[in-house]
Structure 1
């Protein structure tokens, strides 16, 4: 049976969506850590998935072209995102250097739902890469599928939902490894490095776009 254009569009959207999202980044690192801590996992997964869906829809509607007509927006988001990532990276470095606050069961005051959701939203919406990749690139690719662009968007959205669900709820399978304080120190050390590197890249991008 020949493959229909609609199925091709769905498969293409799924492949590109996963290709863009399955990478080490601020958002994925946060989801992984929340999953390991078993802390507000459902809310974090929902926020990430719904945010991605909103960005995908915006891209298909042509928001990417609108962004390109506002030259000051990208550098502004870059610098704001860099400041936030540096702060989050500093907190991760502090956790890595203080073993007494690393384990999920002995971490002292756990973050409330509002604080967790707020951090998740900031890591998502203050990252200009989501606009450049999800809105501009994915939106542009969707337009190449013509009348089947929404099937393409559905495939990309399905990829986001599947990835965040697996990452958030599947992280608990790694809890035996993270029963050791050293493992949490390594994870937080890696998160600190990733956040700092992303912040530097955002500053350079913002300076170049200014």
Structure 2
């Protein structure tokens, strides 16, 4: 997965303004429109089989994190740090498989390794599991891509390895397909993304 370093740096105030605009205009909304339960990606099923503790448990009261300036800066710094610590290498080259989800090894990995490492580090920093959700999308080339959705009171924020800036979900050039359930980390929920035309125009 090619890493595209973007020079865009959103300040905390700008990020809140973008998120508020989403609510005022009603389309897009601050939060993804979640649908029915769907099958987990095969790579995540394999990951959970090998890392049972990471996928165990149930959240009876999913938490939406209050996005203070300190929390915002923590997201920006961690996203940038992980992006620069991991060298982008495909699963085929690393493991001899087209798809294999795991924590990064030897400082290398593809998009899922970036996501899993960011999730792991934020959990270690005290962020709630129900607010840190692995999310699958189609990128501008219509290829599968994984990002980390962080659920905040200002909307769903995206941590990505292709774009260094942390952005509200609707400001990214992706079409979102599904993400981890807020209730059970081993379960997944479909996403109704109505921005298909917008995403297509960005990709052209």
Report if TM-score (shorter chain) is over 0.5. Answer: no
Structure (1 or 2) with the larger CA radius of gyration: 1
Higher strand proportion (structure 1 or 2): 2
Select the structure with the greater relative contact order (CA < 8 A; seq sep ≥ 6).
Answer: 1
